[in-house]
Amino acid sequence: MEKQTYVSLVLETPAAAPEHIQRHYRNKLAMETDVADVRSDLEHGVKDFLLVDVRSEKAYEECHITGAVSLPAARINAESTAEFSKDRLIVVYCWGPACNGGTKGAARLAELGFQVKEMLGGIEYWRKEGGSVEGTLGKIAPLIG
């Protein structure tokens, strides 16, 4: 019986050239941000972006990031965004890593001509990292919709 040779699952596909890797990660950073960066900016008074909660109105009412505005992803259209400036970055968030509401919201806003980034981790990681929240239930609000 021949011994089978193990083939590395990591190495079976060669890595891209460094310039392609750099471009990939720069592009990723151009479309995403994280809880720590958003929180740091807000704590330092940065007001150059609009933070938008794309979850349901009920979820927003119960608990949302302090200072965020509510605009459920399904309601994003030209009329609902008429007062938003296209010169100001919009940062969207939803429930957490398993939620694609932020992705849907970002795609809809981009289709309307807005600059947008998705905040990875959503309100779940915002709360895990001790970020400030407000709403009728605040910190005791459920983390599911």
- What tens digit of pLDDT does each residue of 29-58 get? 999 999 999 999 999 999 999 999 999 999
* Reported confidence tier of residue 1, pLDDT bands at 50, 70, 90: low
pLDDT tens profile 54-110: 999 999 999 999 999 999 999 999 999 999 999 999 999 999 999 999 999 999 999
Q: Specify if 9 maps to a domain.
A: no
Contact 60/136 with Cβ under 8 angstroms?
Answer: no
State the residue range of the domain holding 131: 18-140
Determine if the pTM surpasses 0.85: yes
Q: Specify if 41 maps to a domain.
A: yes
Q: Specify if 47 maps to a domain.
A: yes
* Domains in the chain, number: 1
CATH number of the structural domain spanning residue 41: 3.40.250.10
Please report how many Cα atoms fall inside a 13 Å half-sphere around the Cα of residue 115, on the Cβ side. 10
Instruction: Please tell me the predicted confidence (pLDDT) of residue 2.
Output: 74
Q: Specify if 3 maps to a domain.
A: no
